[in-house]
Amino acid sequence: MINNKGKLIIAAYRLPFKIVYQNNHRELFQNSGGLVSAVLSLSTQKNYPFSGNISWVGHSENTALELQELTHEAGPIDAIPVTIPAEINALYYEGFCNDLIWPLFHYFPSEANFDKTYFEAYQAANQLFADKIAEITEPGDTIWIHDYQLMGLPALLREKFPGNTIAFFFHIPFPSFEIFRLLPVSWRKYLIDGILGADLIGFHTNDYVRYFLGTVQRLYPQYEQRLHYLNLGNRLVEIDAFPISIDFNKFDDAYQQPEVVKIRTEIKQHIPHKIIFSVDRLDYSKGLLHRLIGYELFLENNPGWRGKVTFLMVVVPSRDTIGQYQQMKTETDMLVGKINARFGEINWQPVIYQYRSLPFEELAAMYSASDVALITPVRDGMNLVCKEYVASRHDNRGVLILSEMAGAAAELSEAILINPTDNDDTANAIQRALEMHPDEQEGRMKALRQRLRIYDIDTWTNDFFAQLSSLETEQERLKHT
């Protein structure tokens, strides 16, 4: 751990809170993302390496004044909003981030729009973040920047604060150079120069690290690369893999929570046979259509299973004002209808499909009620759902079918790993999972759980900051040689 002097500043596109109105008064509503729990648990550690409150800088619809009034509810986090004018935000967030980088980095180049105004807005928004952070940064502060919305920010801050420690973590896949090079040359340079402003750059997997280093090598052959280190001439930068994890105990404990037990019992009463479960945001990267086609093929190939298994598929609304997402939703609705019409019977529905978000207790109950989790993104930076499923299986039962295209596949080798676009592979995996002997389920589940129990979200954060600390020592040593 670093024996740090200053405070920790987090920069992420969104603030971890928003103001909601309840019973005629205003309250802070905390987002339940993995990063928020990581940061909160870090702040309560005995050897917390930073001083004071954590400053979290992010976009918000609420003003600084409104948020300040509720500071007492925010615990150790000072929420500092960045105001991005609506017309810039549309081109920056919906445009450059979600209409270009998201599809491109998830290997959907045909969905990517290379619009010049997007790029200008992206630069402008990153500058707004830099300006806001500059107002609060003091010598000795550490700045930890997150994700694809803020790739330009490390360099903007490095220029202003050459002596501060800056770290960056990338939550989505970093693609191979053949995909990255589809970006115009000046955009490529802005993004890579931007990220290289950080001291430590973290990705979920070794593959993403390799692709990033390969891209740097193509753009800057003069930078010396040694293992995970890059020597930029005047600075040493480290690039490494830190597979993000989950709050294992939260999901493990949920198994016995009365509310979760109650919902689980109700689910099992309503579906008195095998349950296959999936939950994802509506997104083309999640492989929903391939998954349904694979399930349909399974039912076609295995008449004996008809009437004895139900696929419970939850899709969480997301970005559904965007045309391509609306189209995906329509195609999903139609395919579910087709499968239910083709195989359904008066007392059996092959797919129970819900388009909504779930409260935590219901999610935990669905995880622990299902015999198989079918997690088949066609591309995913990590995927936390598969880890949450494992952590929820306090009973050591259940089978995880996982796409080899999810970052998590690198760690979860006891899952049944499949190619999500190979429908035969999906269909065969479903049959194998449903017919797996309980002893084999237990053996696999125990191994998976043991790994996640050790490498949970706290270990992830500690690992990241321990690495940052040894990098600082190495940088110091180099300064004096």
Give the closest residue to 283 by CA, choosing from 240, 329, 241: 329
In the numeric block, the tokens 């298994």 are attached to 309
Residue 444 interacts with ligand GDG (CB under 6 A)?
Answer: no
Residue 192 interacts with ligand GDG (CB under 6 A)?
Answer: no
Task: For the CB of residue 377, give the shortest distance to ligand GDG in the complex, in Å.
Answer: 8
Residue 263 interacts with ligand GDG (CB under 6 A)?
Answer: no
CA pair distance 49, 202, nearest whole angstrom: 19
Task: For the CB of residue 403, give the shortest distance to ligand GDG in the complex, in Å.
Answer: 11
Site string for ligand GDG, 268-307 (x = CB under 6 A): -----------x-x--------------------------
Q: Tell me which DSSP letter residue 96 carries.
A: I
**Stretch in the footprint of ligand GDG (CB under 6 A) among 22-30, 110-118, 376-384, 442-450:** 376-384
Residue closer to ligand GDG (CB basis): 254 or 299: 254
Residue closer to ligand GDG (CB basis): 68 or 462: 462
Task: For the CB of residue 249, give the shortest distance to ligand GDG in the complex, in Å.
Answer: 15
Residue 62 interacts with ligand GDG (CB under 6 A)?
Answer: no
Task: For the CB of residue 149, give the shortest distance to ligand GDG in the complex, in Å.
Answer: 11
Residue 316 interacts with ligand GDG (CB under 6 A)?
Answer: yes
Give the closest residue to 132 by CA, choosing from 107, 110, 157, 152: 157
CA pair distance 286, 387, nearest whole angstrom: 16
Residue closer to ligand GDG (CB basis): 99 or 388: 388
Residue 379 interacts with ligand GDG (CB under 6 A)?
Answer: no
CA pair distance 41, 33, nearest whole angstrom: 13
3-state per-residue secondary structure call for 222-240 = CCEEECCEEECCCCEEEEE
The residue from 385, 402, 416, 452 that contacts ligand GDG (CB under 6 A) is 385
Give the closest residue to 229 by CA, choosing from 9, 10, 470: 470
Residue closer to ligand GDG (CB basis): 281 or 329: 281
CA pair distance 37, 71, nearest whole angstrom: 18
DSSP string, 343-388: H-BTTB-SEEEEES---HHHHHHHHHH-SEEEE--SSBSS-SHHHH
Q: Tell me which DSSP letter residue 406 carries.
A: B
Residue closer to ligand GDG (CB basis): 34 or 103: 34
Task: For the CB of residue 28, give the shortest distance to ligand GDG in the complex, in Å.
Answer: 18
Residue closer to ligand GDG (CB basis): 7 or 286: 286
Site string for ligand GDG, 223-262 (x = CB under 6 A): ---------------------x------------------
Residue 380 interacts with ligand GDG (CB under 6 A)?
Answer: yes
For residue 353, the cross-strand partners are 313
Q: Tell me which DSSP letter residue 3 carries.
A: -
CA pair distance 425, 368, nearest whole angstrom: 25
The dihedral region occupied by 207, where left means phi > 0, alpha psi between -120 and 50, and beta the remainder, is: alpha
Positions 337 through 366 that interact with ligand GDG (CB under 6 A): 357-358, 360, 363
The residue from 62, 245, 383, 423 that contacts ligand GDG (CB under 6 A) is 383
Alpha helices by DSSP H, listed for 150-275, are 153-160, 177-180, 185-195, 206-219, 248-254, 258-270
In the numeric block, the tokens 């449903």 are attached to 434
Given a contact cutoff of 8 angstroms between Cβ atoms, the answer to whether 145 and 11 are in contact is yes
Residue 107 interacts with ligand GDG (CB under 6 A)?
Answer: no
| Per rule CB under 6 A, count of chain residues that contact ligand GDG | 19
**What is the Rg, in whole angstroms, of the alpha carbon atoms belonging to the chain?**
23
Residue 375 interacts with ligand GDG (CB under 6 A)?
Answer: no
Residue 382 interacts with ligand GDG (CB under 6 A)?
Answer: yes
Residue 38 interacts with ligand GDG (CB under 6 A)?
Answer: no
CA 27 to chain CA mean position, Å = 26
Task: For the CB of residue 101, give the shortest distance to ligand GDG in the complex, in Å.
Answer: 12
Binding site for ligand GDG (CB under 6 A): 32, 34, 171-172, 244, 279, 281, 316, 357-358, 360, 363, 380-385, 388
